[in-house]
Amino acid sequence: MLKKSLLFWLILSPLVVVILFPFGVMFVTAFRPREELFTYPPTWTFSEFRWANFAEMWVKTNFGRALLNSLYVSVLSTVLAMILSIPAAYALSRYRFPGKRAYRTFLLMTQMMSPIVLVLGLFRMMVTLGLVNTLNSLVLTYAAFNMAFTIWMLQSYFSTIPRDLEEAAWIDGAGHLTSLLRVFLPLAVPAMAVTAIFGFINSWNEFVLALTMIRSSDGFTLPVQIYSQVAGRYQIEWHHVMAATMLATLPVAIVFSWLQRFLIRGMALGAVK
C-alpha cells in the first residue's frame, strides 16, 4: 500500500514541481532584501525575512485600495450571480417549459466563448450605460459571465435533490416558499457554497475586463494593479510585485479552505431509501 502510493507520488512529482515552482519563486522573492534579488547563480535561500517588503509595497503600490476594489467587485458580483442563478436553476431542474433544452445549450455555449471576444461590445454597452470606469461595470459583467456557469452547476445539483422531499413538505402543510426555504435550500447549501467559491475566484482573478473597463488607477482591482507595477516601467520592483501577488492569492486560499468543508458534506445522504 505504502509502496504503491510512493510510486504514484514519484510519477506525479514532475507535475508537482511545475505547479509549485512559481509559488516557490513568489515566496522567496517576496521576502528577500532588494539587494539579493538578482544574485547569480540563483539560490533559494535569503539572508533575512524582510517583512518590510510588504509594508513598503502596501504604500507604494496603493495595495489597500486595490484590495478593497477587488473585494467589492468579487463579493457583489458573486452575490448578484447567486441571487439570480438560484431561481433560474430551480426552474430548470423542476419545471418543464418551452425552450428549456435550447436554453441549457445556450448556457453551455456561452462557456465556450472567451470574454476577450466580447470585450469591445461590452465596453460600448458600458459607455452607453455610463458605467465605464466604475466598479459597478465589473460587478455587472462578472455576474453575467459567472451566471452561465453557476446556473449550470446549481441546476445539476438541484436535480439530485429528490422532488419527493418538497412534495412531503407540501403535504405537511408548507407552501411553495416555505418548502423552498426550510427543506430545499438547506439541502442545497453545499452546492451553493461550492458554486459561490468558483464565482468568487473567477471574479477575483479576472483581468481582461478589469483592464478594459477601469481607466483610472483608483479603480484598479488587484490583478490590474499588480500588472501596472510590471508593465511599461523603467525599473520593476520585483520584491514588491511578488509580495503583492502573495497577498492577492492569500484571501482566495483562505476562502477556499474554509468553504471546502461544504464540498465533502454529503447532506442528501439518507434522505431517501
Does residue 170 interact with other proteins by CB under 8 A? Answer: yes
CA atoms within 13 A of residue 183's CA, in its CB half-sphere = 21
Does residue 164 interact with other proteins by CB under 8 A? Answer: yes
Pick 14 or 173: Cβ nearer other proteins: 173
Cα separation, 249 vs 128, whole angstroms: 34
Which of 174, 193, 208, 259: binder of other proteins (CB under 8 A)?
174
Does residue 48 interact with other proteins by CB under 8 A? Answer: no
Does residue 178 interact with other proteins by CB under 8 A? Answer: yes
Q: Rounded to whole angstroms, what are the CA distances from 27 to 212, 241, 244, 253?
A: 30, 11, 11, 15
Does residue 263 interact with other proteins by CB under 8 A? Answer: no
Neighbour tally for 247: CB within 10 Å: 19
Which of 52, 68, 113, 168: binder of other proteins (CB under 8 A)?
168
Give the orientation angle of helix 135-158 with respect to helix 63-94, to 10 degrees.
40
Q: How many residues bind other proteins (CB under 8 A)?
A: 23
Strands (E), the chain: none
Cα separation, 73 vs 201, whole angstroms: 11
Which of 100, 175, 254, 260: binder of other proteins (CB under 8 A)?
175
Q: ∠ at Cα 218 (248, 28), nearest 5°?
A: 25
Does residue 271 interact with other proteins by CB under 8 A? Answer: yes
Q: Kindly indicate which of the ranges 15-23, 37-45, 131-139, 170-178 contains the residues binding other proteins, using the contact rule CB under 8 A.
A: 170-178
Q: Kindly indicate which of the ranges 25-33, 114-122, 137-145, 159-167 contains the residues binding other proteins, using the contact rule CB under 8 A.
A: 159-167
* Residues 231 and 159: beta-carbon distance below 8 Å: no
Does residue 110 interact with other proteins by CB under 8 A? Answer: no
The phi and psi torsions of 206 (rounded to 5 degrees) equal: -65, 140
Which of 1, 18, 171, 177: binder of other proteins (CB under 8 A)?
171
Closest approach of Cβ 89 to other proteins, in Å?
A: 19
* Residues 226 and 241: beta-carbon distance below 8 Å: yes
Cα separation, 245 vs 226, whole angstroms: 7
Pick 167 or 218: Cβ nearer other proteins: 167
Closest approach of Cβ 232 to other proteins, in Å?
A: 54
Which of 172, 181, 254, 261: binder of other proteins (CB under 8 A)?
172
Give the distance from CA 87 to its chain's centroid.
21
The interface mask with other proteins, positions 182-211, x = CB under 8 A, is -x--xx------------------------
Residue 224 grid cell: 490590474
* Residues 230 and 236: beta-carbon distance below 8 Å: yes
Chain residues binding other proteins by CB under 8 A are: 162, 164-165, 167-175, 178, 183, 186-187, 267-273
